[in-house]
Structure 1
Amino acid sequence: MNKKQRNALITIAIGAAIWFAPVPAGVTVVAWHLAAVFIATVVGFILQPLPIGAVAFIAITFSTLSGLLKVSDALSGYGNSTIWLIVCAFLYSRGFIKSGLGKRIAFGIIKAIGKSALSLGYAIAFSELIISPATPSATARGGGIMYPIVRSLAGALGSEPNETAKKIGTYLMQVGYHCDAVTCTMFVTSMAGNPLCVALAAKTLGVEITWMGWASAAIVPGLLSLLLVPLVMLKLTKPELVSIPDAKQLAQKELDAMGPMSRSEKYLTAVFLGSLFFWATSGLTHIGATPVAMAAVCVMIIVDVINWKDVLSEKGAWDAMFWMGSLMTLASALAKSGIIKWMANSAGSAISSLGLGWVASALILLLFYTYIHYCFASVTARISALYAAFIAVSVAVGAPPLMTAIIFGIFADVPISLTHYGNGCAPIYYGAGYVSQSEWWKNGFVMTTITTLIYLTIGAACLMLAGHMDLSSSTIGAFCGIVTAWSITHNLPWYLAIILAIAFGIGFGAFNAFIITRFRFPSFIATLGMSSVIRGLLYFFSSLGTADGSAQNINFLNDTLYAIGNKKLISEFSICVVIMLVIYCFKFIHSWEEKRNQSAAPAGAAPAAAPAETAAEAAEEEENVTDDLELVAVITAAIAASEGTSPDGLVVRSVKRAHTSNWKR
């Protein structure tokens, strides 16, 4: 038995083992079998008993024969717009090579800064950074703009696929791809799926992620990651051509030999600039990246930059179409089957039950959310399937909503580097033939892990420093619940117990506000310290009266609080929910009256000038409004304590659903 036959048996055995394994509760048989086919396909990609295009096509064919997919659904992946953008990017590159424009640009770059492999790597990184905010399609940016230039650079330095790939081509291809992945994380407008995260965050958590808010959180760790890409790849790929001492002379000689720009080069320059313009203005023109790329290919054929034989002979494009289209079909079917949501919900429930605290719980969820990208061939598909569920679970365990929304949005893009199907740009760079699959996956895992560590350390700090947040709100709520329960067990009337709890909540909030506004402490430092203090007080109160001083549950039952928490007044709304809605209505009326008074001011009247310090304090106060939410937390804690449940229970969730977008967090 040869190696390929052995790998084929391993692939089939893994798929069969999952196929015939017991189907978990909450998962349909079809979903489980689709998961078996998908996992077997990924294993086949790794072991490669056949070329990956053949493995993917066999998987799609088996899915139709077994009844898992209809023929129309099985072939839908080949009609995906991203697939055709990939094909057009390959043809774009063919035009750059055939016309000589790519070679001219490459030698121009080498002449300017081509002292070494590292300097070329930084030229690629800098170019990606410059165009990324204005190019919302990562496939168009990486595959349509940067790839032809990177490919031409490799060719200009005598590095071709396979035999001479290690000379410098492997290094340049990996730098180009991983720089594209990093720039996707840095701006809302640098990747098509990022605006979807913004929309889902608003719907799920009621938080608004601004362009500047995202950029403020991501720019420092993103720049650091981008600076590290050429260095890390230099160590991992080890190009033979590290130093290029005579690069400028070589480049000038080649440019002189090429002479003036040819007719094809001029046509392609116009096509390239036009494509760049329409890709950058897609938000205004509403023309997608794929139609622009298709139009560019059509123009190149019409003006004879490339011909139809060139289109047919571009084997990399059609190979990528087969395996990427098949994988997109399987990944899409897997997401629609519900098994991904089942995995997310199961992971969330399991992590929540561990009682690790919100930091550890959110970190575990984030890592799971990152590395599950091995199961996805589209970043947007992963966002659609998992983003809302994961941020909801993270906030439920106590994570700050805005920070959670931005971090999970950034980490939607971080694992793009993992695989050769991580996003639409990956098959283009991989299809060039400079990097083996095993090397791609190894380098991708290393780069993803490095980027993850940078964002979890430096990135988290930047996010906290970029905006105000209260890290003590959940512990204040829990403490107020303990105060209520402890007071009632010591024969204090329930209404006095609630008043006492509210007093503690107001006191903690006022102390936080004093520290932040008077001494200008960063809010996350002040509230993190307060959270630690309150945790100690929680232990103290819950250990009072015990023989050995250990903390224990405070069990009690108060009929009035039980009725408030459980008795229904309006349809399915309990008394406590109605109370929260009344509070909200008062808040809404107050805000409406303020706006009406402002709008009633005489036209053209200048507002009264406020001292700079007063204006700053007002802005800070607006950012840190906590009174309403602390009041809700106190009442919630009191009711939750009466039921023996978590303070982060039904009441707050119900009120947030009622009109979550207007709550100040």
Structure 2
Amino acid sequence: MKHAKLITGIIGIVLGGIIAFLIPTPQGLSHAGMVVLASIVTANIFWIFNVLPSFITGLLMLCSWVLLGAVDFPTSFNIFSTTTMWIIIGGLALGTAATKTGLINRMALKIMSYLPANFRGQSLALMLAGTIISPMIPSAHPKAAMSTPIAEGISDALSYEPKGKGSSGLFMAAIWGFIVMEASFLSATAQNYAFKGLIPTKYQNVLTWGNWFLLMLPWTIIALVLGYWLLNFLFKPKNDQPVSKDFIHQKLEAMGPMSNQEKITAAVILVAIIFWILGSAIKLEAAITALIGVCILTATKVLTPADFKNRLSWDTIIFIGTVMALGNVMKTVGLTTWLYKILQPLINPILSNIWITVIVLPIVIYLCKFVVVSLISTGTLIVLCLLPFFSTMSFNPALLILIITASVNIWMLNYMDAPVITGQAAVQGKMVSKSGLAKSSLGYMVINILGLLLCVPVWTLMGLV
């Protein structure tokens, strides 16, 4: 429909206006709360139907709070001065350096060179390479765009038919390693920081880099082991005989010896990860570590001013910031307390027991993904709905962030996962079939819940349940 976005946008604005100014303010909620509620409804309609670029919608939402008197400017835009925003900026800059210098490509190809050149060996290589590389690049789209052409080259070298079982399986191995395994590490994607930033500071402090890794370790093992088994079960060709690794060796030879810029980048990222792990023990903010690393890379000319202008995804950074502002503002205007009273009968049973939560909440998220395409928007909506219940839960609410970040990444249908769309675009849609997407996503949905269930004993041992 030619004017669908315009019509949807008008509907969103009209609906927001009705909520803010025509519906009587319910008991227990202020007019400021109604304004914020109206802006959330309008913004989500805009995000779901892509009426405007996501970051523009987010900025308009924050501006509307100030213009309509819900909160003042410092409260509305406070998130942009927090450490969370700066760790996102610093982390994305580190990832930019790793991609620009070719370090990530070299690591992936090197890992592949050690394993047999057949489906079993190279699917495992792609999954392991992605898992190892994930914490270095906090952005899914560059990883999808970089990894899937490598998978395509391997598929061609193995003479797999486009969109056949072998080709589909290698594509999904790249997605599994480089995208799915992002849930294992706090620094693997900016959305992890975004979801973390939505919750109160006392719960954020639980989710340090090291704690996140330990809390998700059982999930990581299950996701890798069962994921590898699933992809081989679904996609392994009948005659899976090893062939020459010439493709991989040619790529490595074309890259030449490791450059000084690669070595500097590798050293900076390695030190940064070490300090992120030790952050709580040595009282060093993760943002400071990331920003010092960026300064070193800039001083050594690995990164240039042009890189900051052209390679950093500033629209994504701004969008994440506007989404993260919601939690604090909702609490300020009393919207969280009011929502608690409204949603209590529906949500209390889900949060009554951690075992029930790790089964039911992912299923709710899966269903939401059929409507709300954006991973960050889906996670944000879920967090905002659960935020009013944090004080009454029987387990630490920080665990909800782990459940959410592991559950939003599904790709049953083409439109449901933007990084998968990026990966398909990078290979001109020639690798994976629709049935291959659907089957692997369904398998992941089951594996994800199994992995989360196995995390519960670890969460209990760490005193969070």
TM-score (norm 1): 0.49
Correspondence for 1:100? 102
Which of 43, 46, 62 is the equivalent residue of 2:45? Answer: 43
Aligned-partner Cα distance in 2 for 1:158–1:458: 34
Aligned-partner Cα distance in 1 for 2:309–2:241: 36
Aligned-partner Cα distance in 1 for 2:114–2:316: 34
The alignment's C-alpha RMSD in Å is 5.2
Partner SS for 1:329: helix
1:125–1:176 contact (8 Å) kept in structure 2: yes
**Matched letter for residue 221 of structure 2:** L
Which of 285, 288, 292 is the equivalent residue of 1:288? Answer: 285
Change (3 A) 1:364 1:281: closer
Partner SS for 2:245: helix
Correspondence for 1:414? 403
Partner SS for 2:303: coil
Aligned-partner Cα distance in 2 for 1:231–1:18: 50
Which of 450, 454, 462 is the equivalent residue of 2:446? Answer: 450
Shift of 1:449: 5.4
**Matched letter for residue 404 of structure 2:** P
Percent of aligned pairs with the same amino acid = 15
Which of 254, 258, 279 is the equivalent residue of 1:257? Answer: 254
Partner SS for 1:23: coil
Structure possessing the higher radius of gyration over alpha carbons: 1
Change (3 A) 1:87 1:17: same
Aligned-partner Cα distance in 2 for 1:345–1:115: 57
Aligned-partner Cα distance in 1 for 2:232–2:130: 14
Shift of 1:350: 6.8
Correspondence for 1:338? 334
Which of 141, 145, 157 is the equivalent residue of 2:135? Answer: 141
**Matched letter for residue 179 of structure 1:** M
2:144–2:423 contact (8 Å) kept in structure 1: no
Structure 2 residue 5 is the aligned partner of structure 1 residue 7: no
Correspondence for 1:606? none
Structure 2 residue 136 is the aligned partner of structure 1 residue 127: no
Correspondence for 1:542? none
2:90–2:294 contact (8 Å) kept in structure 1: yes
1:5–1:49 contact (8 Å) kept in structure 2: yes
Aligned-partner Cα distance in 2 for 1:39–1:123: 41
Correspondence for 1:327? 323
Aligned-partner Cα distance in 2 for 1:435–1:54: 26
Aligned-partner Cα distance in 1 for 2:358–2:18: 28
Shift of 1:369: 12
Structure 2 residue 123 is the aligned partner of structure 1 residue 118: yes
Correspondence for 1:616? none
Aligned-partner Cα distance in 2 for 1:409–1:416: 11
Structure 2 residue 295 is the aligned partner of structure 1 residue 277: no
1:56–1:327 contact (8 Å) kept in structure 2: yes
Partner SS for 1:413: helix
Shift of 1:414: 0.6
**Matched letter for residue 393 of structure 2:** F
Correspondence for 1:544? none
Shift of 1:368: 10
**Matched letter for residue 415 of structure 1:** I
Partner SS for 2:27: coil
Correspondence for 1:74? 76
1:179–1:229 contact (8 Å) kept in structure 2: no
More displaced stretch, 166-175 vs 52-61: 166-175
2:9–2:46 contact (8 Å) kept in structure 1: yes
**Matched letter for residue 287 of structure 1:** L
Aligned-partner Cα distance in 2 for 1:229–1:13: 46
Aligned-partner Cα distance in 1 for 2:363–2:90: 31
Shift of 1:346: 4.2
2:95–2:138 contact (8 Å) kept in structure 1: yes
Deviation per residue, 1:135-185 (Å, 9 max, x gap): xxxxx93645999777644454569xxxx9x9877863564343232567x
Which of 204, 221, 224 is the equivalent residue of 2:222? Answer: 224
Aligned-partner Cα distance in 2 for 1:446–1:232: 10
Correspondence for 1:593? none
Correspondence list, 1:566-577, <5 A: none
Change (3 A) 1:364 1:35: farther
**Matched letter for residue 124 of structure 2:** S
Shift of 1:370: 7.3
Shift of 1:288: 1.7
Aligned-partner Cα distance in 2 for 1:53–1:234: 39
Structure 2 residue 91 is the aligned partner of structure 1 residue 89: yes
Shift of 1:308: 0.8
Change (3 A) 1:365 1:148: closer
Shift of 1:375: 7.0
Shift of 1:454: 2.6
Shift of 1:417: 3.9
Which of 368, 387, 403 is the equivalent residue of 2:390? Answer: 387
Where does structure 2 lack aligned partners over 5 or more consecutive residues? 154-161, 187-191, 204-209, 369-375, 410-417, 426-433
Shift of 1:312: 1.0
Aligned positions, number: 400
Correspondence for 2:309? 312
Change (3 A) 1:227 1:142: farther
Partner SS for 1:260: coil
Aligned-partner Cα distance in 1 for 2:453–2:271: 40
Correspondence list, 1:575-590, <5 A: none
Correspondence list, 1:438-587, <5 A: 450=446, 453-454=449-450
1:414–1:451 contact (8 Å) kept in structure 2: no
Aligned-partner Cα distance in 2 for 1:457–1:272: 32
Shift of 1:418: 5.0
Change (3 A) 1:334 1:432: farther
1:11–1:43 contact (8 Å) kept in structure 2: yes
Shift of 1:80: 3.0
Shift of 1:101: 1.9
- Greater relative contact order: 1 or 2 (C-alpha under 8 angstroms, separation 6 or more)? 2
Partner SS for 1:281: helix
Deviation per residue, 1:589-646 (Å, 9 max, x gap): xxxxxxxxxxxxxxxxxxxxxxxxxxxxxxxxxxxxxxxxxxxxxxxxxxxxxxxxxx
1:92–1:148 contact (8 Å) kept in structure 2: no
1:54–1:323 contact (8 Å) kept in structure 2: yes
Change (3 A) 1:321 1:251: same
Shift of 1:42: 2.2
**Matched letter for residue 273 of structure 1:** L
Partner SS for 1:92: helix
Aligned-partner Cα distance in 1 for 2:83–2:421: 21
1:11–1:40 contact (8 Å) kept in structure 2: yes
2:12–2:46 contact (8 Å) kept in structure 1: yes
Deviation per residue, 1:396-448 (Å, 9 max, x gap): xxxxxxxxx27x6544411114558xxxxxxxx95995489xx9xx9999689
Where does structure 1 lack aligned partners over 5 or more consecutive residues? 129-139, 185-189, 201-210, 392-404, 421-428, 468-660
Shift of 1:307: 0.8
Correspondence for 2:372? none
**Matched letter for residue 450 of structure 1:** V
